[in-house]
Amino acid sequence: MRIKLDDNHYLNSDQYCYWITCEFINDKGKLLERRVSGYKPTIDTAVESYIDKRINTSEAVKITQLANDVKKLKKDIKTWKICLEAI
């Protein structure tokens, strides 16, 4: 399965697990795809893994910056909710 979540994120699955990938264009202009969550047994845990990874890799040096990163992340994930409710 491969379901588009937003402009460049996809929910993927096989018979064993779920994971999220992100499409991006590299320096040479080639479209590539990167896994941005862990391989997880449920959709919910795949999304949680994505959230944890984004927060843990934040480059914030002040709590206000981290708070802004979390707000943006929540906003992005809320747009996915419409997609995920259809599953």
- One pLDDT digit (tens) per residue for the chain, 87 residues: 999 999 899 999 999 999 999 999 999 999 999 999 999 999 989 999 999 999 999 999 999 999 999 999 998 888 887 666 655
CA distance 64 to 70: 10
Consecutive H or E run containing 77: helix 63-85
CA distance 85 to 87: 5
* Neighbour tally for 45: CB within 10 Å: 15
Number of Cα atoms under 13 Å in the Cβ half of residue 14: 2
Q: Check: pTM over 0.85? Answer yes or no.
A: no
